[in-house]
Amino acid sequence: MRPSDLPDPQRALPSPLLETPVHEPGGMRLDTVPEEVPVALSYNGIAHAVMLASPADLEDFALGFSLSEGILATPAELYGLEVETGDTGVVLHLRIAEARFFALKSRRRALAGRTGCGLCGVESLDQVARPLAPLPAGPVFPAAALQRALDGLAGSQPLRQRTGGVHAAAWCDPAGNVLLAREDVGRHNALDKLIGALAGGAGDPRGGFALVTSRASFEMVQKAATAGITLLAAVSAPTGYAIRLAREVGLTLAGFLRPGRHTLYSHPERLDGSTRKDP
């Protein structure tokens, strides 16, 4: 290994944007594209996962991934986090409670992540669906809040405005105002970053809802429910597995969020005044 390949805690993270020359019929110009880098997560000195992610908000990503994957039960179980950068990528060194580290080793899970990969590296079918506690009944949101959130989402996506090529996960208050958003080339990563930001004190998962710019897969629902989010809205379609899990754990799942419409697939009682509900 060359010395330049070694992680360096003093080295700045790469930019999440890359300007590159492109060829067009009229000639050449500079285009801005989203960057992605390998991001390794190491727990108590043991490598656990390598994901491809946008190199931004990685502290939020580390905490959110750890919580949404069930590695940590609470943010207080994360004792320390160090970000190291090298030529080949970024290493997130997490120091966690010994009991959680022991449980992690017992799971014998080795992830090899790709952009938007989902459940890469799960060793058995039993590891796919973790037991989840039922979500509480409230709160109830006005259906118009979904439209307000959709209207306000674009202004919270600076990377998408520059590149058109990243996903976002936004946190919205009960009225639908976008309070917080995280972006990433991977839809799971964006949601993990949002979960990490909320867990770090940026918001209360019980006091609002999440909006994602992707389809709502099983893992997106699982991550949201693990974080205590009671309503997840997606601009694209859900999967059947996601719908079944949402109904089971008590999460309200909305899909195909578009101007003037949405479709509800589970627990419509949390949306007041909605005209599109489950059978």
Q: Report whether pLDDT(129) > 90.
A: no
Asked whether residue 175 falls in the same domain as residue 98, the answer is no
174 with 106, same domain? no
146 in the same domain as 93: no
| Closest of 234, 152, 149 to residue 190, by C-alpha | 234
Q: Is residue 133 part of a domain?
A: no
Q: Tell me if 37 is assigned to some domain.
A: yes
Positive or negative, the CA dihedral 261, 262, 264, 268 is: negative
Please tell me whether residues 176 and 98 are part of one structural domain.
Answer: no
Same domain, 80 and 190: no
* Last residue in a domain, options 127, 162, 192: 127
Q: Which residues are catalytic?
A: 117
pLDDT digits (tens, 9 = 90+) for 5-22: 444 555 788 899 999 999
Residue 141, pLDDT above cutoff 70:
yes
Residues 145, 268 within the same domain: yes
Structure confidence by residue, pLDDT tens digits, 161-180: 999 989 999 999 999 999 99
CATH number at residue 223: 3.40.140.10
Residue 132 resides in a domain: no
Q: Is there a single domain that holds both residue 86 and residue 39?
A: yes
Could you tell me if 196 and 220 lie in one domain? yes
Same domain, 151 and 109: no
For helices 218-226 and 58-68, angle between their N-to-C axes, nearest 10 degrees: 90
- 54-108 pLDDT, tens digit per residue, is 999 999 999 999 999 999 999 999 999 999 998 899 999 999 999 999 999 887 5
The answer on 263 and 170 residing in a single domain is yes
How many domains does the structure of the chain reveal? 2
Which among 13, 167, 183, 182 has a CA at the least distance from the CA of 84? 13
Looking at the structure, do residues 12 and 62 belong to the same domain, yes or no? yes
Range of the domain at 213: 141-272
